Chain A
Amino acid sequence: MDFNDSKEEATFRNEAREWLVANAPTATDLAGLDDMGQAKLWQKRKADAGWACIRWPKEYGGRGANAMEQVILSQEEAKVKAPNTGFFSIGQGMAAPTMMTWASEDQKKQYLPKLASGENIWCQLFSEPAGGSDLAALRTRGVRDGDEWVVNGQKIWTSGAQYSDFGILVLRTDPNVAKHQGLSYFFLDMKSPGVEIKPIKQISGASGFNEVYFTDVRIPDAQRLGEVGQGWQVALTTLMNERASIGGGGGGAGFEQIMKLAQRLNIDDKPAIEDKQVRANLANWYVRQSGLKYTGYRSMTALSRGEIPGPENSIGKLVGAPLTQDLASFAIDLMDQAGILWSPESAELEDIFQSAYMSIPGLRIAGGTDEIMANIIAERVLGLPQDVRVDKGIPFSEVPTGN
């Protein structure tokens, strides 16, 4: 048992590090560019040299690397000061694996290299006002008209819709069969006539998500992935990749930060860290954060051995998000009456705890609520039975609905 790279891994790490250090954009490179411009410049540079989406086959813009090499590259990239390329993560992490499995060869060659290079940004149009945790209850209609489908309805919680070039979406193409059987899966050009995007303002003040309205939007049938009525199966490919791509992070508010805070602030006229209750709370968060870290190392070991990681990694978001929420809440309490101040200038450690406090409620919902994640562990890891379902075996149009 050790934390060392294998010989091959060490060679790869050196190669990656050398390239990253030599090629990470300089301040001059980035001058005058906004966040998106910086991300696109860096992504294109990586793609041109074969360092983008390295697990993909070469013909689609990748490098044919293994999962462990991807982990190593991410670790090394985190060490150089490079632009944040989060704009591309939904397209590369969710749309691309779905295209890889379900699109035609021509489509793969047409779309994947531009996803890898950051030239095209994709978004995901799944959730609806009436289909959240029960995603398959979605109602946005697709009606066939010759070689096209006509789309009407509304999607919600679409990250990055406002700057996306393409989107993947699931539609109800037959309301008269059972819920999961009446869905079909498509991709579309986000500039299509009839697509309207409205940002959603969150309690954190940010607007990372959108509502997307469809009014008589036309999608060519050639952009259907999978058979008509097979949409749920295609969506599962996307969702399996979503679980892997949403972590539990809280914008830098973790154990190290609250430890620093507790050493800096006084309560009862002495450093907060000397208070036994503070120490006990901090210890509890440390052991949970540490448990996640070493669970990650166990998964990485499986990858390194060419195995598929066990189910233990599915706990990340379920543990990480509530942990960060409790930790941020306690940090604010430690600041006492001034804990409510929320700006980088007036709050302790800038405002990481206040920002985390306001953004974590969203993280506990996104990509599967805590409750859905617990169901997933109970059903897929522990093998417990599904809950009784009143919507099984009846046409979707007859399923009871509320508000």
Chain B
Amino acid sequence: MNFEFSEEQNLLREQTRGFLKDFCSPKVVRASLEANGPFNQELWRKVAEMGWTSTIIPEEYDGLGLSYLELSVIADELGRAMAPLPFSSSVYLATEAILAQGSKAQKEAWLPKLASGELIATFAMAETHGQASPKNLTTTVTGDKIHGTKTPVPDGDYADLAIVVAQSSKGDGASWYLVDLTQSEIQRAQVRTLDPSRSHAQIDFNGASAELMGTDGGGWTATQNLLNRAAVLFAWEQVGGSDAALEMAKEYALGRYAFGRPIASYQAIKHKLAEMYVRNTLARSNCYYGAWALNTNASELPIAAATARVSAIQAYYFAAKENIQTHGGMGFTWEFDCQFHYRRSKILAVNVGSERQWQDKLITAIEQTSAA
């Protein structure tokens, strides 16, 4: 049995944590929150210099060619630090999408720039409230011109490139298009969201040029596969955040006195924090399973991804809200940092599809496995 990270990977964790402690303190997160984004460009440059954006990109495209286990470690630490960066959009979604469906030319054109961090890309799927499906997509491509509106697009206000899910009359009813977001036809504006430390935008495409990526009519299947992969990495960010929220609640409870003793000595608080620990531990162990499945391209990936995703959503929501509760009155003030976790946990919980959607996907994947 070898169900743990290696010594080298643990060393990477130490380095990553140390780096983020130095350059991505809660003050840095607060600065992004209060400035209403966009992202922290200086931090992005440093992160790219560390090679994090190139982790899983193969060496032939100027990447490091490391494994998803290394990327999991980085995601865990980015989540813990609540880094105000477009990392999930550019790395877990756009890079993964191009690796999965890009032609050789598309890979050559974009992957080296994504690896170096000079290019930021995103994945544009949602158009309105409710769950997206091929039936309700209204974004269309005629010839090579794209029309329609996507919102909210994570990091869409400053990303250079988007992979856009558009309607198709063929196959599964959707296709993927690469769209250069710097084209003059495109109008985009930041939208107000629950977590201003992570920018989101509305994008109107207005007949801008678009290039098909992958099969016309294969975009919905490709989306599901992409979301399974991204869900594992999102889950790692979520458990990183969950652990940080627990530590925050613990430190406060130890230092805060009421009725002559630390509130951490009251069972109501102790049991609350123990429950956080339990949920975090279950979610983290499920993330190990997800990382293993992602890294080995196991047939169980749909089950492992949904399992990690559902438990990580639940763990982070619980830790974030009960961290505020443990802090009492100060917990819901602007001055305190508890709000960061409360905001970020909800952004991460819906960014690649909400809890109920993943609960359903999990049971579907289990049904398919047992039928096979």
Contact = CB atoms under 8 A, between A and B. Distances in A.
B254 interface: yes
A105 to B, nearest CB: 35
Contacts, number: 156
A286 B307 contact: yes
Interface in B265-279: 265-267, 269-271, 273-275, 277-278
B350 interface: no
Interface stretch (A182-190, A294-302, A331-339): A294-302
A290 B1 contact: no
A284 B359 contact: yes
Interface in A299-356: 300-305, 312, 315, 318-319
Nearest to A290: B307
B289 A319 contact: no
Interface residues of B, number: 49
B238 interface: no
A27 B155 CA distance: 68
Interface string A367-379: 0000100110111
A298 B292 CA distance: 13
Interface residues of A, number: 51
Interface string B1-29: 11111100000000000000000000000
Interface in B304-321: 306-307, 310-311, 314
State the main secondary structure of chain A at its contact with B: helix
A259 interface: yes
Interface stretch (B116-124, B160-168, B362-370): B362-370
B281 interface: yes
Contacts of A382: 250, 270, 273-274, 277
A259 B367 CA distance: 9
Given A286-B307, A291-B285, A374-B270, A300 B1 contact: yes
A49 interface: no
A206 B4 CA distance: 41
Q: Find the residue from A291, A303, A377, A378 having the highest chain B CB count within 10 A.
A: A291
Interface in B346-372: 356, 358-360, 362-363, 366-367, 370
Interface stretch (A1-9, A50-58, A145-153, A390-398): A1-9
A304 B4 CA distance: 11
A260 B315 CA distance: 27
B1 A385 contact: no
Nearest to A384: B264
B292 A388 contact: no
Contacts of A303: 1
A387 interface: yes
A354 to B, nearest CB: 24
Given A301-B2, A382-B277, A375 B363 contact: no
B292 A287 contact: no
Given A3-B3, A291-B283, A283 B270 contact: no
B3 A371 contact: no
A283 B359 contact: yes
B15 to A, nearest CB: 19
B295 interface: yes
A79 interface: no
Contact of B271 (A3, A284, A378, A386): A378
Rank and list the top 9 A-B pairs by shortest CB-CB distance, nearest first. Answer: A291-B282, A283-B359, A378-B270, A294-B285, A377-B274, A297-B3, A374-B274, A295-B285, A287-B311
